[in-house]
């Protein structure tokens, strides 16, 4: 397979997919910087990693697999690259501190919503938000988009929304 480890030997990347990382090497400030050259993150890779507070994803990343960051109760921000095209199901399930999506990804709306190319609201970074107005044109809302949000008091859903999945 050739060389798989990054130069700092903290990540293993195979054919553009980040397949493993050294959790113990996470900086004390909790910022996870995924290395350049990574094109996809597999399912559940960072599941239940409570030391992760902020995630910075590299340009060139295209896909984040299902439940990749699920159960990260201290995760607050995620910086998405413009190249991101696919966010899997339940990627941020039970991430109760998630408050902001950053970056140049065209699927991020208002810094809090990830709306995929098919106009489905997949994720909501809503910690601290009292209200959410889902934009017109959204046709469905994922079952975990608002899960475990304790501060949301008002949700406005557009007429275009045909399906609101619940768990």
pLDDT in tens, 5-17: 776 778 888 889 9
Beta strands in 7-166 (DSSP E): 11-14, 17-21, 31-33, 40-41, 54-56, 63-64, 77-80, 86-87, 100-103, 108-109, 113-115, 120-124, 131-133, 140-141, 154-156, 163-164
Distances (CA, A) of 127 to 15, 95, 104, 131, 137: 35, 9, 21, 11, 24
Residue percentage of the chain with pLDDT more than 90? 71
Residue 123 has pLDDT above 80, yes or no: yes
CB 136 within 8 A of CB 167: no
Residue 166 has pLDDT above 90, yes or no: no
Give the list of residues 6+ apart from residue 165 with CB closer than 8 angstroms, or none.
140, 141, 142, 143
Q: How many residues does the chain have?
A: 167
CB atoms within 10 A of CB 104: 12
24 three-state secondary structure? helix
Average pLDDT for the chain: 91
Radius of gyration of the chain, Cα coordinates, nearest whole angstrom: 16
The 10s digit of each residue's pLDDT in 61-96 is 999 999 999 999 999 999 999 999 999 989 999 898
CB 85 within 8 A of CB 61: no
pTM value? 0.90
> What whole-number distance in Å separates Cα of residue 120 and Cα of residue 128?
23
Q: What is the pLDDT of residue 1?
A: 42
How confident is residue 26, by pLDDT bands cut at 50, 70 and 90? confident
């Amino acid at each position: 397979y050739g060389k798989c480890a990054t130069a700092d030997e903290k990540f293993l990347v195979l054919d553009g997919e980040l397949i493993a990382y050294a959790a113990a090497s996470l900086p004390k400030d909790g910022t996870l910087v995924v290395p350049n050259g990574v094109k996809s993150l597999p399912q559940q890779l960072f599941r239940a990693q409570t030391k992760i507070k902020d995630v910075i994803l590299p340009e060139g990343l295209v896909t984040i697999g299902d439940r990749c960051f699920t159960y990260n109760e201290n995760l607050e921000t995620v910086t998405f690259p413009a190249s991101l095209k696919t966010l899997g199901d339940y990627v941020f399930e039970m991430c109760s501190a998630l408050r902001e999506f950053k970056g140049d990804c065209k699927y991020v709306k208002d810094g809090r919503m990830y709306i995929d190319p098919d106009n489905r609201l997949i994720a909501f970074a809503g910690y601290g938000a009292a209200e959410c107005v889902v934009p017109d044109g959204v046709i469905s809302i994922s079952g975990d988009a608002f899960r475990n949000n304790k501060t949301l008091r008002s949700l406005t859903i557009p007429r275009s929304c045909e399906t609101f999945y619940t768990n």
